[in-house]
Amino acid sequence: MADERSGDKKHEATDHRRQKARDEGNVARSQDFSSAALLLVGVMLLDFTGPRMFQMMVALVTEELSGPLDLDSDARTAVLPLIQLLTKGGLALLPLMGGMLATSLIVHYAQVGVLWLPDKLGIDFSRINPIQGFQRLFTIVNVSRLGFGLVKISLVAGILFLGVWSRWDSILALGSANIETVGQFVWATMIDLCRNAAAALLVLSMIDYGFQRWKYEQDLRMTDEELREEMKMMQGDPQVKSRRKKVQRDLSVQRLNADVPKADVIVTNLTELAIALRYDPQTMRAPIVVAKGASLIAAQIRTIALTHGIPIVERTPLAQALFRQIEIGQPIPETEFAAVAELLKTVYQVQGREITLT
C-alpha cells in the first residue's frame, strides 16, 4: 500500500517542473482550436473581402490579356511585367493572407504565449521510425483523437446536409435563373455553410482545448518520490546539507578556540550577544573584534573565555553597537572609543595593567 500511495500523483506541479516542461515544448494546446479559428476567420474574411478581391483579380487578368502581345521582348523585358503581375496579385490577396497570419499568431499566443524552441528545429529521426510509429497508432491518445475526428466529420456533414436541405427549393429554382444569380446564390450559400461549420468546429475545439489543459495538469502532477527528488535537486540533499553544516560548525568552533583566547575582554548583552575585543598598544591604533556571535555562538565564546580566565563584562548598549557595526577583524569605530577605553581601563586596573588609546 505504501508503494501505491507513493506512486499516486497527488501533488501539484512545482514552478520548476512547469518551466522544465515548457522548455521541452510540453505545453497545453489544441491543434483543432487553431485550425477552427483559422477556418472561421478565413471564411469571414472571404465574405468581407471576397467580392472586391474577385473584382481585382478579374480586372488584373482582363488588363493583362487585353494588351498587345509583344513578340519581340526578350527575357529581361518580360520579367518586369511578370513582377508587376505578381505584385498586383499579392496586393489583392494581402487582406486575406494578412488576416490569416495575424489570427494564427494570436491563437498561438493565447494558448502557449511566447515560446521559442530552437532545439525543435532539428530532425528527430526517432519520429520517423516505422516500428515506433506503428506502435503509436494504437495508443489511447490516438484512439481518442480518432473518435473525436469522427465526431467532427459527422458534425460537419450534418451541418452541410441540413444547410442544403433547407435551401432545396431555392436550388431547384436556379434552373431558370441567369448565371449572375446562380453565382451569387452559390457564393452566399457556400459562405454561410462554411461559417456554420467553422463555428461548430470552434466550439468543439474549445472543448478539446479544455480537455488538453486538464490532461496537461494531470500529467504534470507529482508523486511523493518525484517531489522529494526535486526538493533535493533544488535545495540539495538533506544529508549533504547536514554534513556541510556540521563541518561549518566545527570550523567555527576551531576558529573560536583559536581567536577568543587572544582577547582582552568579552563584552556581553546578558546571554544574547558576546563580542571579544583585543588591544595591543604596540601594534594597534584601536581595539579590534577578534570574535563575535549571538545565542549559541555567544555561549561558546563565554565558555572559552571562562576557561582561559578572560574577563566577561556586561555592557548592553556597547555590545549591541559593536555587534551591529563591526565585523570580525575590524577595529572599533571612533564613536565607541570612549566606552571601550573606559571598559579596558577598568579591566586593566583589575589586572594591574595600563591602557593608552590614541
Residue extents of the structural domains in the chain: 25-221, 252-351
Most confident of 59-63, 192-196, 320-324: 192-196
Average pLDDT of the segment spanning 216-233: 80
Query: Rounded to whole angstroms, what are the CA distances from 15 to 7, 9, 29, 208, 234?
Result: 20, 16, 19, 25, 11
Cell of 237: 540533499
**pLDDT band at residue 75 using 50, 70 and 90 as cut-offs:** low
* Residue 122 dihedral angles phi and psi, to the nearest 5°: -75, 175
CA distance 230 to 250: 29
Q: What percent of the chain has pLDDT over 70?
A: 79
What radius of gyration do the chain's Cα atoms show? 42
DSSP class of residue 11 equals B
Q: What is the pLDDT of residues 29-38, one digit of tens each?
A: 788 888 888 8
- In this prediction, residue 4 carries a pLDDT of 41
Give pLDDT, residue 167: 84
pLDDT at residue 357 greater than cutoff 60: no
- Assess whether pLDDT exceeds 70 at residue 171: yes
For residue 146, pLDDT over 70 is answered with yes
Q: What is the pTM of this model?
A: 0.51
Which is higher by pLDDT, 285 or 65? 285
Strand pairing class (312-314; 265-269): parallel
Region 252-351: CATH code = 3.40.1690.10
Of 214, 103, 199, 100, the C-alpha closest to 152 is: 199
